[in-house]
A = this chain, B = another copy of it.
Amino acid sequence: MKGKRISLADIANELGVSKTTVSFVLNGHAETKKISKKTQERVEALVAKYNYRPNAVARNLRLGSTKVIGLIVPDISNPYYAKIARMLEDQASDKGYHVIFGSSSESIERERSILAKFRQQSVDGILLASADVNSPHIEELAGSGLPVVLFDRIASSSEVKLSSIGVDNKSAMRQVTKRLLANGSKRIAMVCNHIGQLATDSRVEGYQEAMNDANIQMESNWLQEVNESAGKSMDTIMAELLNAKQPVDAVVFSNSLLAQDGLKSIHQNHAEQIANLQLGCFDKLDLFDYVTPKVVYAEQPNEAIVRSAFETLLAQLPGQAKQQKEPAACTKVLHEVKVAV
């Protein structure tokens, strides 16, 4: 059954025409190249008979474009990125692109390596949620000629000369915190991880701003960072916050994975306090629909983010015969979040 895969040349030979002719027919140049109706039909018949499909690798080599775009995220199994992946797949396949993915595991080294591999594979472009947007390799990317759009993890305003699509993290967390305050909480703690990463830091700032605006004096242990290796597990943190003489009456989490962890910890060890506790979170989880207490969250317009990220990427690709004077200027977009519960 195997047999050599049939090639365009085989078709041409069997028909007694040239590869050129077959190629023209296959690529819809039949009209412009004035291939006779009869020849067209003969070609199409044989193509159908053998169920011939052109070898994309050869085509790619010739054309210098693979119709593949790379998606690099910290972890594809994170439901947030998995959703992104799906949206991207849908958008991309509409335009005839495929998606190859890589998970950096928050490691710059792995990220660089994936990036390098993807370039070698000549992906047409890359959507990147970087493990560290401040790392120098991001700078280098800008001058590399490879179309790259940063999303989700984006760099502070100007500097980096790469297109970036994201949300206003600070504003989002400020809004969530304000909502919690409006609902009556006064002693609000924040649990995060990856302090030092821009997104996290911005969210922390948003929380702090909201607290300051409300004239609440934060206690020193209200800002917590999960760090297993330093013995700061979610359980430890929750115990510290909730077993105090004066426990906190609300907790905001800097991302949804933490919220999930936190919920588990609360249910396991602090169930009796659920009634008096508010929770807040950046980003949403399906889970929130089923669980007590209700969680106030900032919902990212992911569809819009992916859409503009992908469109921005397409715009950088060569061959988008537009007013391509410059190589598609570097776009920056911040989408607005929506607070919900």
Contact with B along A80-121 (1 / 0, CB 8 A): 011101110110010000111111000000000000111111
- In the bound complex, how far is the Cα of B61 from the Cα of A73, in angstroms? 29
Q: Given A53-B119, A56-B121, A145-B3, decide whether A89 and B61 contact each other with a Cβ distance below 8 A.
A: no
Residues of B within 8 A of A102 (CB): 89, 93, 98
Whether the pair B89, A101 counts as a contact (CB closer than 8 A) is: yes
Whether the pair B98, A56 counts as a contact (CB closer than 8 A) is: no
Q: Given A3-B145, A55-B122, A145-B3, decide whether A290 and B289 contact each other with a Cβ distance below 8 A.
A: no
Closest beta carbon of chain B to A325's beta carbon, Å: 15
Q: Is A275 engaged at the interface, CB distance under 8 Å to the other chain?
A: no
Closest beta carbon of chain B to A248's beta carbon, Å: 20
- In the bound complex, how far is the Cα of B291 from the Cα of A15, in angstroms? 67
Q: Is A76 engaged at the interface, CB distance under 8 Å to the other chain?
A: yes
The residue in chain B whose Cβ has the minimal distance to the Cβ of A268 is: B289
Whether the pair B89, A85 counts as a contact (CB closer than 8 A) is: no
Q: Which residues of A contact B (CB under 8 A)?
A: 1-3, 5, 53-58, 60-61, 66, 68, 75-79, 81-83, 85-87, 89-90, 93, 98-103, 116-122, 143-145, 260, 263-264, 267, 286-287, 289-291, 327
Given contacts A57-B121, A77-B85, could you give 10 more A-B pairs where the C-beta distance is less than 8 Å? A2-B327, A53-B119, A57-B122, A68-B100, A76-B85, A77-B87, A79-B82, A85-B101, A89-B101, A286-B287
